[in-house]
Amino acid sequence: MTNHHYPTKSERNVLITGASRGLGRALALAYAARGAGLALVARDAPAVEAVVREARAAGARLAHAIAADVGEKEAIHRIAAEAQAVVGSIDVLVHNASTLGPSPLALLLDTECEDFQRAIEVNVLGPFRLTKVIGAATALRGGGVIVHVSSDAAVEAYPRWGAYGVSKAALDHLARLVDAELADAGVRSFAIDPGEMDTAMHREAVPGADPDTLARPDDVARRIVRAIEDPVLAPGGARLVATTMAEVVS
């Protein structure tokens, strides 16, 4: 990163998809506490607006809700335009929104092609499209970070997690390729597996799991913020596992 203009902590603008609950909300609140500007995306408008209010109360310099579906091509330019017009140039882009597909999860050959397609659209094509717009602007400005929230299903072949696993494996490689092509422009891209967390997604996929055995989204969010802020901890092109990262002190 030779010519980057990565702004100081409190000047940063962060776009987070899937920010209405779970890990995305925790990330939004972690950045709010650092005084960042936030563009928060989810489909459920009242839910994401509620997180915007929480973020303002927690210290966000600016917070804006964008009700949109990242799996829809037409939504992408609106997300980017609204985020940049209201919040400003984006320094950190977090691809966190994701779908598992219908529960209970089906074996691969029982998976409807449309459900497989939807997993790819939300989990890979959406991030690709958003990176095309936001990443290009970030590269032109000479600095920023793009984070891809992955899963262990990207590397382990879990029966019934087929469409999701394939989409997350593709997302991992998207993270590497974005880094390979944009590192010279000052954009650092990496993937991170957050580990099993106590969220709505986990409750839906694994009903009855003991919450005490799962990570808290707030703790995982702190680790991800640390990885975003520290290129030594999260070098460009890396695939990290949040639970095995060096312990986070603050």
Ligand X SMILES: NC(=O)c1ccc[n+]([C@@H]2O[C@H](COP(=O)([O-])OP(=O)(O)OC[C@H]3O[C@@H](n4cnc5c(N)ncnc54)[C@H](OP(=O)(O)O)[C@@H]3O)[C@@H](O)[C@H]2O)c1
Active site residues: 150, 164, 168
96 contributes a contact to ligand X by CB under 6 A:
yes
Which residues contact residue 153 at a Cβ distance below 8 angstroms, ignoring those fewer than 6 apart?
161, 164, 165, 168
71 contributes a contact to ligand X by CB under 6 A:
yes
Chain position whose Cβ is nearest to ligand X: 22
Site string for ligand X, 12-51 (x = CB under 6 A): -----xxxxxxxx----------------xxxx--x----
Q: Which of 185, 174, 222, 238 is nearest to 29 (CA)?
A: 222
Which residues contact residue 192 at a Cβ distance below 8 angstroms, ignoring those fewer than 6 apart?
147, 148, 149, 150, 224, 227, 234, 239, 240, 241, 242
Given 199, 221, 228, 242, the residue binding ligand X (CB under 6 A): 199
Which residue, 122 or 139, is less far from ligand X as judged by CB? 122
Phi, psi of 119 (to 5 degrees): -60, -40
Residue 28 to residue 16: CA distance in whole angstroms? 7
Q: Shortest approach of ligand X to residue 3 CB, angstroms?
A: 31
Residue 242 to residue 68: CA distance in whole angstroms? 27
82 contributes a contact to ligand X by CB under 6 A:
no
Which residue, 45 or 140, is less far from ligand X as judged by CB? 45
138 contributes a contact to ligand X by CB under 6 A:
no
196 contributes a contact to ligand X by CB under 6 A:
yes
| Chain residues that interact with ligand X, rule: CB under 6 A | 17-24, 41-44, 47, 69-71, 96-99, 122, 149, 151, 194, 196-197, 199-202
